[in-house]
Chains A and B, each alone.
Chain A
Amino acid sequence: MYTQALDMQGTEGAGPDEAALEQHFLARVDAEEKIEPKDWMPARYRNTLIRQISQHAHSEIVGMLPEANWITRAPTLKRKAILIAKVQDEGGHGAYLYSAAETLGVSRDQLIDQLLSGKAKYSSIFNYPTPTWADVGAIGWLVDGAAIMNQIPLCRCSYGPYARAMVRICREESFHQRQGYDLMMQLAGGTPQQKRMAQEALDRWWWPALMMFGPSDANSTHSGESQRWKIKRFSNDELRQKFVDFTVPQAKFLDLAVPDPLLRWDVDRQHYEFGPIDWNEFDQVLKGDGPCNAERLAARRDAHAAGAWVRDAASAHAEKRRLRRADLAA
């Protein structure tokens, strides 16, 4: 029902009515009311949400790949079952988010097309490789941990369908983070080789995880309006700081070293100071030159192509059944 009759709304013709509508819209946002699909909204709000929600959905879908890589090689049946459940959740999160994006008047096929054509962006973190089993733990602990930090405020975002999808997602993400930390605890408390694996995984994922919060506030292009519209509640740097403050003690508990020589507790600020982030690397990966960009997209395209006959068969079967029912009714 959400995707009907939306194409006509929110087109930017700034007549006198438009200004009044925007006033009313902003007043509702200020009053913490939720904006729903059929409500009037500025075209820029709609487009910002389509971009953000679809990028988020693509990230969930591509995010299945680095870990799915380890399902067949999980060391125990328990770990394998956990990992399958987690990867299945990521697929589910992608589906919730695509549905939320569709309420804004974009079709699922358009969204998939944008991902497969390489036009759409997704989180740069998923373009890093997972060479050892410990990476599965580090992803759950750090990548899902950073994702939770980003996502919890989104549960209160002004757009109803996005907020509701995020509530469901956050409930499930917590399992992801805890299973990852549990895996890291086991490795860090294991043989010296296992502990070294855990340390190397932390070394690989620490900085990319910090980059997940996006450019520093000074260079963040979309932040101002998103905060005004209550899509975004905290700045990138605020969330990044919070993540570091939460995560450093967790690394200490594992007796692993955070790979940042400048990291230190600042007594006055009551926060951790941390070293500069390599934004060149971030830009490279985002532009498509990360270690696994080509591989990830190729995997998605192959999966889509390989599943085509299943989708076709399901459509044909549904059509056959529909015709049979129509025959019976005639």
Chain B
Amino acid sequence: MSTLDVSRQWPLYEVFVRARGGLDHKHVGSLHAADARMAIDHARDLYTRRLEGVSIWVVASKDITASDPSETESLFEPARDKIYRHPTFYEIPDEVKTL
């Protein structure tokens, strides 16, 4: 079996599906397609065979910029000690209503 021409491999797309009107599109997986339009068609067949969605987004995987796992701490740790950003940080007397 000859090795396939790698340059002809279709690009990878990430697929996002909106399950119902009013919900966000959620990442469900990825697939290969010749172009974005075909990616939508394939995503319909691959990810919505059982009424899983009412809308599909596809994004070429190469166009996604992701945060680096090695920077997880520096990116997200600073939020840990800022508990005053949550409403539960403040104790309000019971007599005070609707606050």
Contact = CB atoms under 8 A, between A and B. Distances in A.
Tier of interface size on chain B: 20 to 34
Contact of A1 (B6, B45, B46, B61): B61
A145 to B, nearest CB: 21
Contact of A113 (B1, B35, B61): B1
A325 B40 CA distance: 19
B38 interface: yes
Interface string B21-36: 0000000011110110
Contacts of A89: 49
Contact of B49 (A2, A92, A164, A301): A92
Contact of B31 (A4, A95, A116, A314): A95
Given A107-B6, A315-B8, A3 B61 contact: yes
Interface of B is mostly: mixed
Nearest to A93: B46
A112 B4 CA distance: 9
A2 B61 contact: yes
Contacts of B37: 321
B29 A116 contact: no
Interface stretch (B62-70, B73-81, B82-90, B91-99): B62-70
Nearest to A321: B35
Contacts of A1: 14, 61-62, 64, 66
A168 B28 CA distance: 10
B31 A322 contact: no
Contacts of B69: 36, 38-40
A318 interface: yes
B12 interface: yes
A2 B38 contact: no
A195 B36 CA distance: 50
A289 to B, nearest CB: 20
Contact of B35 (A168, A301, A318): A318
Contacts of A85: 49
Interface in A87-126: 88-89, 92, 95-96, 99, 102, 107-109, 112-113, 116-118
A211 interface: no
B16 to A, nearest CB: 13
B32 A108 contact: yes
A95 B46 contact: yes
A301 B4 CA distance: 13
A44 interface: no
A168 B31 CA distance: 15
A102 B12 contact: yes
A116 B1 contact: yes
Nearest to A116: B1
A88 B61 contact: no
Contacts of B64: 1
Nearest to A316: B34
A157 interface: no
Contacts of B29: 96, 99, 164-165, 168
B4 A314 contact: no
Given A1-B61, A92-B49, A314 B1 contact: no
A317 interface: yes
Nearest to B2: A113
Interface of B: 1, 3-4, 6, 8-10, 12, 14, 29-32, 34-35, 37-38, 45-46, 49-50, 61-62, 64, 66, 68-69
28 contacts: A1-B14, A1-B62, A1-B66, A2-B30, A2-B61, A3-B12, A3-B61, A38-B66, A38-B68, A40-B69, A92-B45, A92-B49, A95-B31, A102-B30, A107-B6, A108-B32, A113-B4, A116-B1, A165-B29, A172-B50, A301-B1, A311-B34, A314-B38, A315-B34, A317-B34, A318-B34, A318-B38, A321-B35
- Closest 8 A-B residue pairs measured CB to CB? A318-B35, A318-B34, A117-B1, A314-B34, A1-B64, A109-B4, A1-B61, A116-B1
